[in-house]
Amino acid sequence: MTSVHPPPVPGRELSNPPTDGISNLRFSNHSDNLLVSSWDKTVRLYDASANVLRGEFMHGGPVLDCCFHDDSSGFSASADNKVRRIMFSHGKEEILGRHDAPVRCIEYSYAAGQVITGSWDKTLKCWDPRGASGQERTLVGTYPQPERVYSLSLVGNRLVVATAGRHVNVYDLRNMSQPEQRRESSLKYQTRCVRCYPNGTGYALSSVEGRVAMEFFDLSEASQAKKYGTFATGGCDGFVNVWDGNNKKRLYQYSKYPTSVAALSFSRDGRLLAVASSYTFEEGDKAHEPDAIFVRSVNEIEVKPKPKYMGSE
């Protein structure tokens, strides 16, 4: 799509970025704080609009995912198999629990009040952070998965888990005894990422081939008015594209980032988009651009099709 804007700027680069690859980054739901997990074994907290590093938390191994609880604390998933809670204000972290293999993804469900983690040990675990620390108290449940968990996403009471082997399990958080749906990715290649639509009707699935599939929870709904909305995808080609799922068209493409886009996050009001430009080792070990985080403003024109959905997180 051609842009009507003047030569695009990749955004403001955050200072003091992580010193190794960025695995994920998230905006807070309450402010412009940005939480960044990295292979340099740290989780960093930034004030994105002020471009200030507010905190840095060391881990025992590369941190593969992170998420906010509120503006005073967050959680992290690390390759040293441990799940941690991070207290921003106190400047420290504590272990919430552990898996048998690196913990790949972590989410906090406001609906259930639980932390949900997926690991390469082929299990999903739910934790209650309110309990005192110590694994025995906090672990709510362990749910085996067909394969190593690669990605998970929450919306409302629904949880979508994507694993190796292209399996997809959909759970109702109120009844985790078994998946509500067991599905298979309709894409031919390894699942890279899964994200639920904010309106809760379905989820988007992406694969390492570079495709995105739009799925609905309820198939009957799928045939009705399609409400895909707009969403942004970042790829190893260094581009961030904004799509109109409804019309299956690309709305906008931001200028190329120095290297692979490892993670994306929209701010709570959709004004800002944080882009992690960090080589994701898709081509093995090779020389790459330094890891950087860019925060850019989002223009309505870039993301707005006829229906107005501002990106899905």
Give residues in contact with another protein (CB under 8 A).
Answer: 21, 23, 39, 62, 64, 79, 100-102, 104, 120-123, 141-148, 150, 164-165, 167, 177-179, 181-184, 186, 190, 192, 208, 215-216, 219, 222, 280-282, 284-285
Reference 152, options 112, 200, 210, 191; nearest CA is 191
> What is the smallest separation between the CB atom of 100 and another protein, expressed in angstroms?
6
- Residue 88 to residue 107: CA distance in whole angstroms: 17
Decide whether 54 or 137 has the Cβ nearer to another protein: 137
CB of 180 to another protein, least distance (A): 11
Please identify, using beta-carbon distances, which residue of 71 and 147 lies nearer to another protein.
147
> Whose structure tokens read 């988009």?
273
Instruction: Please tell me what DSSP assigns to residue 237.
Output: T
Dist CA 127 CA 121 (whole Å): 16
Q: Are 278 and 258 spatial neighbours (Cβ–Cβ below 8 Å)?
A: no
Which residues 6+ apart lie within 8 Å of 182 measured at CB?
Answer: 167, 168, 169, 170
The nearer residue to another protein, 6 or 144, going by C-beta atoms, is: 144
The least distance separating another protein from the CB of residue 14, rounded to whole angstroms, comes to 22
Write out the H or E segment, with its range, that includes residue 220: helix 219-223
3-state helix, strand, coil in the chain (%, to 5): 5, 50, 45
CB of 92 to another protein, least distance (A): 25
Number of neighbouring beta carbons within 10 Å of residue 287 = 5
Q: Minimum CB separation from another protein for residue 228, in Å?
A: 14
Nearer to another protein, 3 or 190 (CB): 190
Contact (CB, 8 A) for 71 and 82 = no
Q: Which is nearer to another protein, 95 or 101 (CB)?
A: 101
C-alpha 154: how far from chain center: 10
In the bound complex, what is the minimum distance in angstroms from residue 64's beta carbon to another protein?
6
Of 55 and 179, nearer to another protein (C-beta) is 179
